[in-house]
Each structure stands twice: as structure tokens, then as C-alpha cells.
């Protein structure tokens, strides 16, 4: 048992291994991109890609939590949540730097509450997550149309746009520092807090978790609420990224948020996976898309290559199952 | 004339010997009772005869010809029907669909003839008319109560009109009236010349319905007798064999007399009117046959399932848990023998499996991994846990070691009362003796234990007192000199006043 304690102290082996593996994949993808289209891995381009990945990364973080919690957890409402978040943020701040903080708070609170509704539906009304969150997506979409009457509204404050798009230190924009800090926090939360271990517990064996005294329902409601909030945060940043909002702005993130989680090594059955994988998954996914965009092929061919590569990646990760704790 | 014969049947499951020379002769038109303690192989023999388990050795003969059914439906086609102890109805289907699942009536086009299906199902249900409420052919099985399901299961066996019928504890969930109807049915089947094997733990039922009885002990058939020529005492004696030597007691009853938990006339699903005082530092055994309410009682005491009626006090204070969290807060712990369902988090590391019950108690959000690892490591050492590391997945450990982790989860939590629900089910001897040692140590420290075990000898060796359950009630409380195998069996097999 003393060897065991040793290992825990220095951090488990799988963690370092799968990280190395994923970093290798990312480097290979950059190299492939550079070969196919010179300039792909130029610093400015790299940063642009990482900013794109970070937008996906925030929403995928919440998606990951819901999936880890098991019981077929999935959040299909994130697309709507992002659009709604962007709309709330844009209207509250309305191009004013002074209103950035209130806008952020309003966005987070609103999407947290709607996410909690997802969670309540899933736990107390026993609606399957797939159905509940898809329904929520529909409701939000309708709401957006009613509120905006189809006309884009709300504008980003200059400081928010700068935070997302302009270099802050060393040519790196603020959003990437924020993403790094956020990712570090989520990794820590999952590994080293009671809440994190509760998530794994309910995902791995809900019955045993209940008998261990874990508040199953409360935890699961919170997971959906957090997923909503992460999507809202993404919406807030998307507003900064593109300056204004159109209704369907969040839709393009829905499927990628799930794919990033899954290629990041999280099991759709729940209970297995970590956040570092999701971060890597977001980067890999964005890289892949962008490589395919630089290739000069028609969209159907692109879609096929994209799908095929994903399957290949899944296979590759599947073989590393033992590492994917 | 012998219809069915099992000769020298042997069967092992891994290291467990289920049958070691079972013989049985079923005569035409008789009701032949099988009786024996828990786990002596009765169900296994039924499964071997009907092709859902394969024997390692031995022969089954039907009408004098050796047979080896590969599936229960093959047996059914040969006229051998079986009621398994584990119910097999499909909850999402209706009563009628379940009854005729194997062979639904077909129309000329080859489709299921739903009109005839309903009509024939109604006719089948007629047999229990008045005893099963108003269930009809179109009710979903999911909506039926346990006794109604059992009746449907019985009828399902009969719709094939088998010549030979094996009933493995068909009356377990039935009420008095339903049992009477069932016995009338069995009488009728016997008059029609059908041959019946009937397994029951209720001695009065055995003598009410049986023509002959075969007694099983440790996987062997030890005697076959005519019911008319024997009595209950003889049957119990045969069940115990010459083993009536006293089981060696492992410990002396504790001196302390203060009460850790007092239950007064509590009732719930599957148990009723149970009262006991659990003393500080004692092991109170729950005895009796399988499924007589022991597990339900323990789960209710832990707040795991439905609430209980009556009153319970822990440490002198009212105890009424609304969930496991309340129980944990009151210092109560629960270990289930079904670790796959209730215990382990299979895809998670040993460490997380250990600390699962701490996740609510710790006020601070942050877990000090290093301090906890030390604590967990110490408990692991105490349990003699064999694991490659705390980061190994728990599913990589042996069953016994997995169970040690589940027990360790509660030791880390320092409970005052430990509820054990058949905790050694399917684990090896070494792990068992480690567990007994830990129980002794815990009792020394003043922890009180309620220990249900389906192994009588385990109870006799460890428990200070034994409350014997029968039909959801405590029918005897064995104390001091009266803690013996004979008394345990007498109470467990006594006629039940239901
Ligand atoms: N599928 C199985 N796998 C492992 N052990 C089994 C299995 N089925 C039965 N056993 C074991 O075989 C023994 C006999 O069981 P069983 O035939 O159910 O006894 P009975 O019906 O007389 O109570 C028991 O020790 C039981 O634990
Ligand atoms: Mg049995």
C-alpha cells in the first residue's frame, strides 16, 4: 500500500500518458496542416485557431459534466443557450464597457436557471435528457424569435471584443488565458473536490452513490445548470468574437460540443473521463475542421473526410481505453 | 412408474459445489417435494433438468430415455414445464402476451390472433378468479403486484399443459387464499395424472400437498420418504444430518448493556412487527430462510427504500431516516452483499471507491487527497486489502477485495451501527475470515452490528444473538445456550401463521 500512496502523490500515470498522446495528435495535426497549406501553423493562425477552440471548449466543459453524470446524460440545448446567452449579454451591455460585468452576471444567471430547469425535468419528471434538452432547445429558439422578431440586436462592448480578438500579453488574447485558468479550475474540481467525485460516483453507479449518501438529484440538477451556464458563458464570448448576434449563432456548437467530449475520452455511459481530454478534444476538432477548410474540396467530400477521421480517432482512443480513466 | 429420473447429478459453479450427487425419482401422478437449507442445490437441479444449466456429470431420464435439454423451451416441447424461483415475466408486455409468450395462438395468415390470445388468457386467469383482484388479460405486468405476478407466472407454466411440472418456490409471494387456490390446482393436476416437483420452505405446505419428499443437504439428496410415514422433526433432522455438533463460537457476548438502537414494532415492505434492542458492541444476527424480510428490514433501517412504520431510536434519540444521508449522519452504515448493484463504482479507482461515503460529510469542498490517501491506506492495511495501488480500477480486484473496499468505505467513516446485508455472498474464505476479525475488533470498540447472512454457520459462529425471521416476522430470538443450529432450523422452517 505504500507504493500506492507514492503514486497518488506524484499524480497517476495515466494522466501524464494520455496528455502526451493528445499533445502528439495536436502537433501532428498542425504539421499536417502546415504541409497541406503553408502558413497554417503560423503564430497568428495558431492563435486564431485556439481562440476558436476556446469558444468550443467552454461549452464542451459543461457538456462533459452532464455526460459524466451518467443516466444517458446529454445536453442538446447548448446551441440555444449560447444564442440566448449572446442575446442577453448583447442587450444588457449594448456596446458599453461599463455594462460588461452586469451583462456577464445576467447571462450566467439566466442560462444557469434554464439549465436547472433541464435538470429538474430530467430528475423529477424523469424525462430522458435527450428529449428534455431538445425540448428546451425548441423553447429557447421560439423565445429568441419572439424577443428579437428575427432582427439581430445587442452589440458587444469594445473591451469584450478586444478581450477575445486582440493580443493581451505576448501576442496572446485574454480569452486564452481565461480558458487556461478555467480549464485548470475544472480539472481541479473534478479531481480534488467532493463535488467532482460525486459526479463520477453518480455516473459510475447511481445506486451505490445513493447508498453512500450522495444527493443524486441535487447533483444532477446542478450538472445541467452548470452546462447551461457554460453555454451561456460561450454565448457571452461569441458575442465578443463576432460583435453582434443572430438567432442561430449557437447552433453550430451543439454537435461539436458532444464530439469534443467523446474524442476527449469521456464515455457516453457516464463515470469515465476527465476535463483535460475535453480541452484536447476541442482543439483537435477545430484543427481538423480548419485543415479540411483549407483543402480545396467540395463540402460533401469534406464531410466524409471529417466523419472518417473522427471514427479513426475514436478507434485510436478506444485502444487506449486503459488510459482513459 | 417413474416418469422423470435424475441420477448422480454433479454441478460446480467455479469454486462453489452446488450439487454433489443428487438423485431423484418422480413417479407418475405424484407430488414430490424437495426440501433443504438455503443453497443446497434444489434450484440448480431444477435448472439442470429443464436445460437452463448444464450438469458436470449425471443423467436425466424422461420416460426411461436419457435426455439433455439445451433450453427450457426444448424441455417444454417435451412436456416438461418449469416455474423458476427467479421470475421471468416481461414487465412491458400484457398479462396475455406473457402467458402465451412461447407459443402465441396464430391466425391462418401466421400472425398473432389477438382475439384468441385474449380469450385463452381470460380462461387461464379464471383459475385464480377471486384471488387476484380484477386483473385481466390486457393489464401490463409492470402494473401487477408481486403476488399477482407470481400467479401469472404459475399460469404461464400451465398453458403449455406439461406432463411434468417443476415448481421452484411458487408460493413465496402468495397470500393464504392464493396458496389454497394453488393447492386445489395442484390437486387437480395430480388427478389428471400429471407429475409434479414442488419446492417449498414451508413445512406445513409440504405436509399438506406432498406424496413423497426428498431431502437435500449440501448438494446431495440424503433421503426420500413417503409423507405419510414421516413428520416434521424427522425432516429437519435429515436436513441437518449428523452436523448437530455445535458450531464453534468465536466470541463472548459483550458485557455492556446500553442500547445502541431500539426498534419497536416496526413494519415495512416484506417485514412486520419487528422489535429488538441492539446492544452496544454486540452482533445481532438475523437468521431464517432467504427472503423472509431480513434484507428489507436492513434497507429500511438505512433509509434506502421505503420508510418503516413504528419507532426506532438510535442512542436514545428518535431515528427516522428519509434517505441514506440521514442514516449516515446518525452514524449508521450499510453494506450489501450485492456489490455490483449496491457497492462498487466499477469504472473508478480504488481510492474513489473508498471515499464515496465521505463526499457528503466533509464540510469543506476540497478533498485533501494526501491525507485521505493515508487514512484510506491504513484502513486498507487493516482489511489486508490486496490492490496494486489506490489508483487501480476497482474492477481489476478480486471479488473479495472489492468487497473489502466497500466495507472499508464505511470504516473510514467510523460508524456506530453497522448493518450487514449478507455481506459475504460469493466471496472467498480468506476474505470472510478477515471480515469476521474486523467485526470482532469493531465490537470491541463499541460498534454495534446487525448481521444478516444466508449462511447459517456464519451466523452461528459470529452472532451474539439471533433473531430468526419467518414470513417477515421474528419468530424466535435465540440467546445464550439457545443459539444453536437446531433451534435456528426449527424456527426457520416452522409453520408460518400467514
Ligand atoms: N449461477 C451461479 N453461479 C454461481 N453460483 C451459483 C449459481 N447458481 C447457484 N449457485 C450456488 O450454488 C449453490 C446452490 O444454489 P441453489 O441451487 O440456488 O440452492 P437452493 O435453491 O437449494 O437454495 C449455492 O451455493 C449458490 O450460491
Ligand atoms: Mg432456490
Domain membership of residue B498 (yes or no) is no
Both B233 and B275 in a single domain?
Answer: no
By C-alpha distance, the chain A residue nearest B368 is A192
The 8-class DSSP code of residue B463 comes to -
Nearest to B205 by CA among B245, B229, B223, B178: B178
Q: Which residue range is the domain that position B157 belongs to? A: 2-240
Output the pLDDT for position A316.
Answer: 64
Output the pLDDT for position B247.
Answer: 58
| Burial of B347 per CB tally in 10 Å (0-12, 13-18, 19+) | buried
Q: In this prediction, what percent of chain B has a pLDDT beyond 70?
A: 95
Closest-CA distance of chain A to residue B325, Å: 4
Both B265 and B227 in a single domain?
Answer: no
Domain membership of residue A325 (yes or no) is no
C-alpha cell at B455: 449462511
Chain A residues whose C-beta sits inside 8 Å of any chain B C-beta:
1-5, 7-9, 12-14, 192-195, 197-198, 200-201, 204-205, 207-215, 267, 271-272, 325
Instruction: Identify whether the C-beta of residue B449 lies closer than 8 Å to the C-beta of residue B298.
Output: no
Residue B18 Cβ contacting ligand 1 at under 6 Å: yes
Which of A231-235, B144-148, B319-323 bottoms out in mean pLDDT, i.e. has the lowest? Answer: B144-148
What integer best gives the mean pLDDT of chain B?
Answer: 88
Nearest to B423 by CA among B403, B397, B438: B403
Contact A193 B366 (CB under 8 A): yes
Domain membership of residue B444 (yes or no) is yes
Both B59 and B116 in a single domain?
Answer: yes
Rounded CA separation A141/A235 (Å): 14
| Number of domains observed in the structure of chain A | 1
Domain membership of residue A277 (yes or no) is yes
Q: Closest to B373 (Cβ–Cβ): which among A5, A207, A215?
A: A5
Domain membership of residue B116 (yes or no) is yes
Q: Closest to A8 (Cβ–Cβ): which among B373, B387, B393?
A: B373
Q: Closest to A271 (Cβ–Cβ): which among B336, B345, B380?
A: B345
Which of A228-242, B120-134, B295-309 bottoms out in mean pLDDT, i.e. has the lowest? Answer: B120-134
Residue B424 Cβ contacting ligand 1 at under 6 Å: no
Strand pairing report for B16-27 and B309-314: unpaired
Contacts of B324 in chain A (CB under 8 A): 210-213
Residue B40 Cβ contacting ligand 1 at under 6 Å: yes
B192 in helix, strand or coil?
Answer: coil
Q: Which of B347, B351, B421 to mutate to test the interface with A (most CBs of A within 10 A)?
A: B347
A229 in helix, strand or coil?
Answer: helix
Rounded CA separation A213/B26 (Å): 52
Closest-CA distance of chain A to residue B133, Å: 30
ipTM of this predicted complex?
Answer: 0.84
Task: Indicate the pLDDT class of residue B245, thresholds 50, 70 and 90.
Answer: very low
- Asked if pLDDT for residue B130 goes beyond 80, the answer is no
Contacts of B328 in chain A (CB under 8 A): 212-213
Both B333 and B196 in a single domain?
Answer: no
Task: List per-residue pLDDT tens for chain A, 325 residues long.
Answer: 433 333 333 344 444 456 677 778 888 888 988 888 888 888 888 899 999 999 999 999 999 999 999 999 999 999 999 999 999 999 999 888 999 999 999 999 999 999 999 999 999 999 999 999 999 999 999 999 888 887 777 888 999 999 999 888 888 999 999 999 999 999 999 998 999 999 999 999 999 999 999 999 999 999 999 999 999 999 999 999 988 788 888 999 999 999 999 888 888 888 998 898 899 999 989 998 888 888 777 888 888 888 887 777 767 665 444 433 3
Residue B38 Cβ contacting ligand 1 at under 6 Å: yes
Instruction: Identify whether the C-beta of residue A88 lies closer than 8 Å to the C-beta of residue A229.
Output: no
Q: Which residue range is the domain that position A65 belongs to? A: 2-317
Phi first, then psi, for residue B7 (nearest 5°) are -125, 120
Contact B359 A7 (CB under 8 A): no
- The CATH number assigned to the domain holding B319 equals 3.40.50.300
- The CATH number assigned to the domain holding A156 equals 1.10.3470
Both B351 and B421 in a single domain?
Answer: yes
| Number of domains observed in the structure of chain B | 2
Both B233 and B264 in a single domain?
Answer: no
| Predicted confidence (pLDDT) per residue in B439-493, tens digit | 999 999 999 999 999 888 889 889 999 999 988 999 999 998 898 888 888 888 8
Contact B373 A207 (CB under 8 A): no
Which residues face B4 on adjacent strands? Answer: B26, B62
C-alpha dihedral sign at A21, A25, A30, A34: positive
Task: Indicate the pLDDT class of residue B255, thresholds 50, 70 and 90.
Answer: low
Contact B351 A193 (CB under 8 A): no
Residue B16 Cβ contacting ligand 1 at under 6 Å: yes
Rounded CA separation B418/B331 (Å): 9
Q: Which residues surround ligand 2, an ion (CB under 5 A)?
A: B 43, 85
Contacts of A211 in chain B (CB under 8 A): 302, 304, 324, 334, 336, 342-343
Domain membership of residue A15 (yes or no) is yes
Give the ligand at the shortest distance from the Cα of B216.
1
Rounded CA separation B153/B82 (Å): 10
Amino acid at each position: 500500500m505504500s507504493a500506492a500512496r507514492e503514486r497518488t502523490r506524484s499524480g497517476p500515470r495515466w494522466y501524464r500518458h494520455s496528455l502526451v498522446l493528445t499533445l502528439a495528435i495536436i502537433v501532428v495535426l498542425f504539421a499536417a496542416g502546415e504541409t497541406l497549406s503553408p502558413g497554417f501553423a503560423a503564430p497568428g493562425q495558431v492563435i486564431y485557431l485556439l481562440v476558436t477552440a476556446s469558444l468550443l471548449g467552454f461549452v464542451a466543459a459543461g457538456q462533459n459534466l452532464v455526460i459524466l453524470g451518467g443516466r444517458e446524460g446529454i445536453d442538446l440545448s447548448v446551441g440555444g443557450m449560447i444564442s440566448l446567452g449572446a442575446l442577453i449579454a448583447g442587450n444588457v451591455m449594448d456596446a458599453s464597457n461599463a455594462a460588461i460585468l452586469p451583462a456577464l452576471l445576467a447571462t450566467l444567471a439566466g442560462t444557469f436557471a434554464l439549465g436547472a430547469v433541464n435538470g429538474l425535468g430530467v430528475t423529477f419528471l424523469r424525462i430522458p435528457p435527450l428529449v428534455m434538452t431538445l425540448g428546451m432547445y425548441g423553447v429557447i429558439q421560439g423565445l429568441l424569435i419572439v424577443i428579437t422578431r428575427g432582427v439581430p440586436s445587442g452589440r458587444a462592448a469594445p473591451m469584450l471584443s478586444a478581450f477575445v480578438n486582440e493580443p493581451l500579453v505576448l501576442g496572446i488574447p485574454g480569452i486564452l488565458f481565461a480558458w487556461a485558468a478555467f480549464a485548470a479550475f475544472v480539472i481541479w474540481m473534478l479531481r480534488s473536490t467532493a463535488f467532482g467525485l460525486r459526479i463520477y460516483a453518480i455516473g459510475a453507479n447511481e445506486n451505490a452513490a445513493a447508498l453512500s449518501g450522495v444527493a443524486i438529484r441535487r447533483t444532477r440538477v446542478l450538472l445541467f445548470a452548470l452546462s447551461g451556464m457554460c453555454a451561456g458563458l460561450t454565448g457571452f464570448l461569441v458575442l465578443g468574437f463576432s460583435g453582434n448576434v443572430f438567432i442561430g449563432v449557437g447552433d453550430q456548437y451543439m454537435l461539436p460540443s458532444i464530439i469534443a467530449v467523446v474524442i476527449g475520452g469521456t464515455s457516453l455511459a457516464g463515470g469515465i473521463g476527465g476535463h483535460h481530454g475535453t480541452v484536447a478534444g476541442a482543439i483537435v476538432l477545430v484543427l481538423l475542421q480548419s485543415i479540411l477548410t483549407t483543402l480545396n474540396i467540395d463540402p460533401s467530400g469534406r464531410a466524409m473526410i471529417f466523419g472518417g477521421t473522427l471514427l479513426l480517432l475514436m478507434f485510436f482512443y478506444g485502444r487506449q481505453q486503459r488510459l482513459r480513466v | 412408474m417413474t416418469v422423470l429420473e435424475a441420477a448422480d447429478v454433479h454441478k460446480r459453479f467455479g469454486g462453489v459445489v452446488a450439487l454433489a450427487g443428487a438423485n431423484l425419482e418422480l413417479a407418475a401422478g405424484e407430488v414430490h417435494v424437495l426440501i433443504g437449507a438455503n443453497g443446497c442445490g434444489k434450484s440448480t437441479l431444477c435448472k439442470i433438468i429443464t436445460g437452463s444449466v448444464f450438469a458436470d456429470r449425471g443423467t436425466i431420464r424422461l420416460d426411461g430415455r436419457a435426455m439433455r435439454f439445451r433450453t427450457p423451451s426444448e424441455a417444454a416441447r417435451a412436456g416438461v414445464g418449469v416455474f423458476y424461483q427467479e421470475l421471468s415475466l416481461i414487465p412491458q408486455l400484457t398479462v396475455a402476451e406473457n402467458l402465451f409468450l412461447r407459443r402465441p395462438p396464430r391466425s391462418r395468415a401466421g400472425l398473432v390472433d389477438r382475439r384468441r390470445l385474449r380469450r385463452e388468457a381470460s380462461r387461464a386467469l379464471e383459475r385464480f378468479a377471486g384471488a387476484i383482484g380484477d386483473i385481466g388479460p390486457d393489464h401490463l405486468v409492470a402494473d401487477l403486484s408481486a403476488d399477482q405476478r407470481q400467479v401469472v407466472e404459475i399460469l404461464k407454466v400451465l398453458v403449455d399443459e406439461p406432463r411434468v411440472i417443476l415448481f421452484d418456490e411458487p408460493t413465496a409471494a402468495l397470500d393464504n387464499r392464493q396458496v389454497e387456490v394453488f393447492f386445489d390446482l395442484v390437486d387437480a393436476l395430480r388427478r389428471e395424472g400429471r407429475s409434479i416437483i414442488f419446492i417449498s420452505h414451508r413445512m406445513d405446505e409440504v405436509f399438506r400437498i406432498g406424496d413423497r419428499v426428498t431431502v437435500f443437504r449440501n448438494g446431495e439428496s440424503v433421503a426420500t420418504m413417503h409423507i405419510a410415514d414421516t413428520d416434521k422433526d424427522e425432516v429437519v433432522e435429515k436436513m441437518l444430518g449428523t452436523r448437530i455438533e455445535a458450531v464453534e463460537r468465536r466470541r463472548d457476548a459483550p458485557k455492556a448493556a446500553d442500547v445502541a438502537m431500539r426498534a419497536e414494532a416496526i413494519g415495512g415492505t416484506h417485514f412486520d412487527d419487528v422489535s429488538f434492542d441492539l446492544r452496544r458492541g454486540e452482533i445481532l444476527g438475523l437468521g431464517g430462510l432467504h427472503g423472509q424480510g431480513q434484507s428489507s428490514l436492513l434497507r429500511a433501517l438505512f433509509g434506502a427504500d421505503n420508510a418503516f412504520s413504528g419507532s426506532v431510536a438510535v442512542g436514545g434519540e428518535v431515528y427516522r431516516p428519509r434517505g441514506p444521508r440521514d442514516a449516515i449522519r446518525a452514524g449508521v452504515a450499510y453494506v450489501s452483499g450485492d456489490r455490483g448493484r449496491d457497492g462498487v463504482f466499477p469504472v473508478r479507482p480504488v481510492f474513489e471507491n473508498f471515499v464515496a461515503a465521505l463526499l457528503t460529510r466533509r464540510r469543506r469542498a476540497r478533498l485533501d487527497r494526501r491525507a485521505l490517501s493515508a487514512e484510506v491506506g491504513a484502513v486498507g492495511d487493516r482489511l489486508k486489502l490486496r490492490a496494486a495501488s489506490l489508483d487501480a480500477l476497482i474492477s481489476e480486484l478480486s471479488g473479495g477485495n472489492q468487497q473489502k473496499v466497500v466495507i472499508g468505505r464505511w470504516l473510514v467513516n467510523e460508524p456506530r451501527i453497522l448493518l450487514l446485508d449478507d455481506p459475504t455472498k460469493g466471496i472467498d474464505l480468506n476474505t470472510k475470515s478477515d471480515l469476521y476479525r474486523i467485526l470482532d475488533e469493531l465490537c470491541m470498540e463499541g460498534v454495534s452490528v446487525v448481521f444478516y447472512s444466508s449462511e447459517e454457520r456464519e451466523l452461528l459462529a459470529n452472532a451474539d444473538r439471533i433473531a430468526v425471521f419467518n414470513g417477515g416476522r421474528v419468530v424466535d430470538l435465540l440467546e445464550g445456550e439457545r443459539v444453536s443450529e437446531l433451534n435456528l432450523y426449527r424456527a426457520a422452517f416452522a409453520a408460518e401463521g400467514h
